[in-house]
Amino acid sequence: MANLKKSSPKKVPLSPLQSSTKKLPAFLSVKNIIIIVLLIGAVLFWKFKGYFIVATVNGQPISRFELTGDLIKRFGAQSLDNIINERLILGATRQKGIFVTDDDISVRIKDVEQKLQGTTTLKDALLAQGLSESDFKKQLEIQIAIEKMFDKESTVSPSEIKDYTSQNQAAYKNATDPAAVNKEVESILHQQKIRDLFDKWFSDTRKNANIKKYL
C-alpha cells in the first residue's frame, strides 16, 4: 500500500475583527479602552455639568430635567399659550406680506430709550421686569407686526381728536403747545383703534385655528 501522507490542517484565515485585535498594542487592550472612554466621559460631564446639573444642595444634585419638569408644571400652560399666540400673529402677518425688519426694531428701541429720559438704562429696565434683550425684541416684533396689520384701518380724524381733547380737558389744561397735544391725542386714539381691531381679529383667529396641545 502506498504511504499515506498526513495532510497538515488548513489554516483558517482570521476574521478582520480577530486580525485587528491581535495587532492592537498592549496599552490598547479592551480594558484600557474602557477606562479611557470612562475618563473622557467623566471629563466631558464635569466640563458640561451645567447641561445636566443646575445646582447642588448639601452635595445633593438638582438635575436640569427636574427643574424643567417643575417649570413646565408651574408655567407650562401659560408659556405654551404665549408661543401659540405668537405663532398665530406672526404667521398671519407674514401671509399678508407684513414683515418686521431689524431697522423697525432698532427705531422702536431708540424710542423706548428716549422715553426713559435717562432715568435708567434699557438694560436695567428690562432686568427689573425679568426680560432678556431677545424677549424684548420678540415683543417689539409682535407689537410692530400688529400695528402694521391694522395701520390703514385705524386712522384718526381731526374731529375725533377734537372730541377726545374736549372730553379730557383736565388732562391738558396746562398744555401750551396745541400741536403737541393733537399729536399725542392722535397717537392715543390710533393705538386704541389698533387694540380694538386686534382683539376682535385675534379672538376669531384663535377660535378658528387648528390647535392641538400635548402638554
* Comparison of pLDDT for 22 and 107, the residue scoring more: 107
* Comparison of pLDDT for 91 and 34, the residue scoring more: 91
Question: DSSP string of the chain?
Answer: -PPPPPPPPPPPPPPHHHHHHHHS-GGG-HHHHHHHHHHHHHHHHHHTGGGTEEEEETTEEEEHHHHHHHHHHHHHHHHHHHHHHHHHHHHHHHHTT----HHHHHHHHHHHHHHHTTSS-HHHHHHHTT--HHHHHHHHHHHHHHHHHHTGGG---HHHHHHHHHHTGGGGTT---HHHHHHHHHHHHHHHHHHHHHHHHHHHHHHHS------
Altogether, the residues listed in the chain come to a count of 215
Q: Output the pTM of the full model.
A: 0.69
pLDDT of 62 reads 86
- In this predicted structure, the answer to whether residue 181 has a pLDDT above a threshold of 90 is yes
pLDDT digits (tens, 9 = 90+) for 148-174: 999 999 999 999 999 999 999 899 888
pLDDT digits (tens, 9 = 90+) for 114-152: 988 878 899 999 999 988 999 999 999 999 999 999 999
pLDDT of 43 reads 59
Average pLDDT over residues 58-71: 87
pLDDT of 61 reads 85
pLDDT of 59 reads 84
Q: For residues 159 and 185, is the Cβ–Cβ distance under 8 A?
A: no
pLDDT digits (tens, 9 = 90+) for 82-124: 999 999 999 999 999 999 999 999 999 999 999 888 788 999 9
